[in-house]
Amino acid sequence: MRRKSDSAFRLFIKKFERLGRRFLSGALAALFGTRKKYSQIPPAEIKRVLIFKIDDRLGNFILLSPFLTLLRQRLPQAEITYCAAAKMVPRLEKHPLIDKAYGFRKWAFWSPYGWPRMLMHLRKAHFDLAIDCSHPRGKSLTHALLTRFVGAKYTIGVSKEPFDSYYTSPVIIPPEIKSEMREYPWLLAPIGVNPQEIPALSYYPTIDSSAVSPDIAAWLKNPPGVIINMGAGTKDRFISTDFISQLAEFFEEEQEKTLLTWGPAEKSLALAALPNGSQYVAVAPPTNVDELYYLMAKAKLIISGDTGPMHLAIASGTPTIGLFVRGDPERFGHNYAPHKVIILKNSEEDLEKIKSHYLALAHN
């Protein structure tokens, strides 16, 4: 009974917090919302663009890559600045589609990355267009306020009360669009981009393939046919070690060179899934993101849970099977050729689906 009452109390607190945020958002929108509205924005007027995506997760950045590609194609001469979580800045500074990058720390108020200094610095840049690229379905008051107060003549964000008051060009995303990758390009509709023509996901390594570690270089010379990526973003999305072990045994029987890649704190899981006396399945050496990308680009098939490396695999162009234990496969999955999404329910049936997909690829 006590556990039930504690759970009910937590749900009440969360609901109360949501109501509080909604009230605050509405009050600030009423005070600081803009009355200027533009259904279309003349591209010729846009010389400087600012993107707000305060996020440090690799997968979310890769999902935004079609948006970045379309933006650069539409405004080839514009200076594109990206404001992200501070730890993302070193990667963004080397991105070919981004001219400048700035870091932001929401709670480091008086630091160089905090609200006052960041806004003052960005306002001095005199941006023509600012785009709120927070999650289209969730929305973020932080992103909305930054977009509103940066001083750009034109501002774009998803039309969702009360946030649409912050933007000069609020965008309505059709409800039938479920994939987050396909939602972001709709933010470019006001500058004349066709949001239904979506380029592929992309990733640009920050190091050359010649700069990888000696262990990874050896694998690139004699690459695996299959990569199984261990782990997931959260524990409730982990694929069981037993399931991975059964996959590894199948590829061992097929004499398919297979590499088990792993992230922080996941090496023990990879070792536990390794078949006894394996000749064709191996545990990967430690990899950084760029090294993992180079390995994935050399493989024939990648199997991964719902995590950032799954999107990295898609960006590499290698056929990928995304395994979903929880999460939203419509929103984050890639269920289009040559890729596949499998929602894990019954181990035997799911294993057969993976085997069939592998064998079909092997015979093509």
pLDDT in tens, 252-277: 999 999 999 998 888 888 999 998 88
End position of a domain, from candidates 134, 165, 191: 191
Instruction: Please tell me the predicted confidence (pLDDT) of residue 8.
Output: 54
What is the maximum span of the chain, computed from C-alpha positions, in angstroms?
Answer: 70
Answer with the residue of higher pLDDT: 30 or 286.
Answer: 286
pLDDT for residue 98 is more than 90: yes
Same domain for 143 and 220, yes or no, is no
Answer with the residue of higher pLDDT: 346 or 99.
Answer: 99
pLDDT for residue 141 is more than 80: yes
Structure tokens at 346: 């019954």
Same domain for 294 and 239, yes or no, is yes
| Mean residue pLDDT across the chain | 88
The reply to whether 145 falls in a domain is: yes
Same domain for 55 and 175, yes or no, is yes
The reply to whether 202 falls in a domain is: no
From the list 62, 148, 128, 126, the residue with the least C-alpha distance to 97 is 62
Same domain for 39 and 180, yes or no, is yes
Domain that holds residue 118: 30-191
- Tens digit of each residue's pLDDT (9 = 90 or more) over 306-330: 999 999 999 999 999 999 988 899 9
End position of a domain, from candidates 165, 191, 217: 191
Whole-model pTM: value is 0.88
Least confident of 7-16, 228-237, 321-330: 7-16
Same domain for 296 and 153, yes or no, is no
**CB contact at 8 A, 333 and 310:** no
Least confident of 135-139, 288-292, 327-331: 135-139
pLDDT for residue 11 is more than 70: no
Instruction: Please tell me the predicted confidence (pLDDT) of residue 253.
Output: 95
The reply to whether 142 falls in a domain is: yes
Where does the pLDDT of residue 177 fall: very low under 50, low under 70, confident under 90, or very high at 90 and above?
A: very high
pLDDT for residue 162 is more than 90: no
Least confident of 15-24, 242-251, 265-274: 15-24
Same domain for 324 and 224, yes or no, is yes
Instruction: Please tell me the predicted confidence (pLDDT) of residue 300.
Output: 96
**CA of 334: how far to CAs of 63, 97, 361, in Å?**
11, 23, 17
Please give the tally of structural domains in the chain: 2
The reply to whether 20 falls in a domain is: no
CATH assignment of the domain containing 235: 3.40.50.2000
- Tell me the sheet residues that pair with 156: 131, 169
Same domain for 119 and 234, yes or no, is no
**CB contact at 8 A, 184 and 133:** yes
Answer with the residue of higher pLDDT: 7 or 59.
Answer: 59
Provide the sign of the torsion angle of the four alpha carbons 334, 340, 345, 351, taken in this order: negative
**CB contact at 8 A, 214 and 318:** no
Instruction: Please tell me the predicted confidence (pLDDT) of residue 9.
Output: 46
